[in-house]
Amino acid sequence: MDTTAAAEPLTAKDYKSDYKPVWCPGCGDFGVLSAVTKALSALGLRREEVAIISGIGCSSRLPAYTSAYGFHGVHGRALAVAAGLKLARPELTVLVAGGDGDGFSIGGNHFMHACRRNVDLTYLVMDNQVYGMTKGQASPTTAPEWEGSKLTPHGTGINPFVPLAVALAAGANFIARGFSGDPNGLAKLIVDAVRHPGLSFVHILSPCTTYRPEQKDWKALVGDAGVEPTTDPGRAGKRLMSDDGFRVGVLYYGNRPPYAEPPAARSSLEAIEQAFAV
Ligand SMILES: Cc1ncc(C[n+]2csc(CCOP(=O)(O)OP(=O)(O)O)c2C)c(N)n1
């Protein structure tokens, strides 16, 4: 990594890697990558101060397309890896990136408990309401009547998972929704999310143009929530009762202090080595 220009402010372009994304043309994840790099530039962070952790899926390729540190992990386990990293290296800004299948199905249990534990992380979920990488199966956020997958030709018939409501109920300290089609607006949400202590969850509508081409219409459906964020979880919950799934903006700012490991839990590397010595 080139750190010679560390004192220079970095532009969004500086946060892009030399790898060309393999995402399909029109994939919403391009907009998310653009927003992440704009946000890192706006935050004035150096590349070595940032780590982006992901699971598996098209969206989880995002870390490789940035020049920050990254870890492309195991399906559904990104939050666990990220929490470990943040506790071991609290000075790092740790972002977590993934999809709706990764985060709400396979990693669903980690999602709830990461919100509850409130480690200082920013979790970006690119929700395309489908398993993109494995060719279009229904995901937890797929509408029950969607008949686009051969595995569920008559729809799933199951009510979708409601990410914002689950995040709120589980205790996430910052909750927002953004849209990949508005990288500047999304970048602002990400900056806000990173600056807010504790577990910040940003639900991102990010269309899959290959398996859900009808999502190209999301641009016309997305709109500002038009209300000020609240610090009252009861009020935030009430707002979610009338949410149509397309309102963007910050829903909730919590004031719980982030999880910090008790000092007694910290061991030196030498002590760990001694404990495992044979
Ligand atoms: C434990 C485990 N289960 C299943 C898979 C197969 N798998 C790889 S990517 C993927 C779908 C990812 O979907 P999503 O998280 O929505 O991301 P997208 O590709 O749509 O961005 C699945 C099921 C896997 N790699 N590991």
Question: How do residues 46-78 score in pLDDT, each as one tens digit?
Answer: 999 999 999 999 999 999 999 999 999 999 999
Q: What is the distance between the alpha carbons of residues 77 and 54, in angstroms, rounded to a whole number?
A: 8
pTM above 0.85, yes or no: yes
Concatenated DSSP letters for 165-223? Answer: HHHHHHT-SEEEEEETT-HHHHHHHHHHHHHSSS-EEEEEE---TTT-GGGGGHHHH-E
Distance 227 CA to ligand 1 centre (A): 34
Q: What is the distance between the alpha carbons of residues 77 and 104, in angstroms, rounded to a whole number?
A: 11
pLDDT of residue 189: 98
pLDDT of residue 35: 98
- What contacts 276, CB < 8 A, 6 or more positions away? none
pLDDT of residue 202: 99
Q: Which CATH architecture has domain 22-275?
A: 3-Layer(aba) Sandwich (3.40)
pLDDT of residue 266: 66
Reduce the DSSP state of residue 230 to 3 states and report it: strand
pLDDT of residue 275: 83
7: pLDDT confidence band, cut at 50, 70 and 90?
low
Distance 266 CA to ligand 1 centre (A): 34
- Cβ 82 vs Cβ 116: under 8 Å: no
258: pLDDT confidence band, cut at 50, 70 and 90?
very high
**How are beta strands 174-179 and 247-253 bridged, if at all?**
antiparallel
Q: What is the distance between the alpha carbons of residues 60 and 75, in angstroms, rounded to a whole number?
A: 9
Q: What is the distance between the alpha carbons of residues 131 and 127, in angstroms, rounded to a whole number?
A: 10
pLDDT of residue 264: 67
Give the residue, out of 100, 106, 109, 146, with the most ligand 1 atoms within 8 A of its beta carbon, to mutate for a pocket test: 106
Atom of ligand 1 nearest to the CA of 131: 13
Average pLDDT over residues 9-29: 97
Distance 101 CA to ligand 1 centre (A): 6
pLDDT of residue 89: 94
- Residue extents of the structural domains in the chain: 22-275
Give the residue, out of 123, 128, 133, with the most ligand 1 atoms within 8 A of its beta carbon, to mutate for a pocket test: 133
- What contacts 197, CB < 8 A, 6 or more positions away? 120, 173, 257, 258
Q: Nearest CA to 60 among 11, 93, 106, 113?
A: 106
Average pLDDT of the chain, as a whole number: 95
pLDDT exceeds cutoff 60 at 173: yes
Distance 63 CA to ligand 1 centre (A): 16
pLDDT of residue 262: 72
Beta-bridge partner residues of 224: 248
Distance 137 CA to ligand 1 centre (A): 10
Atom of ligand 1 nearest to the CA of 139: 16
DSSP 8-state code for residue 99: E
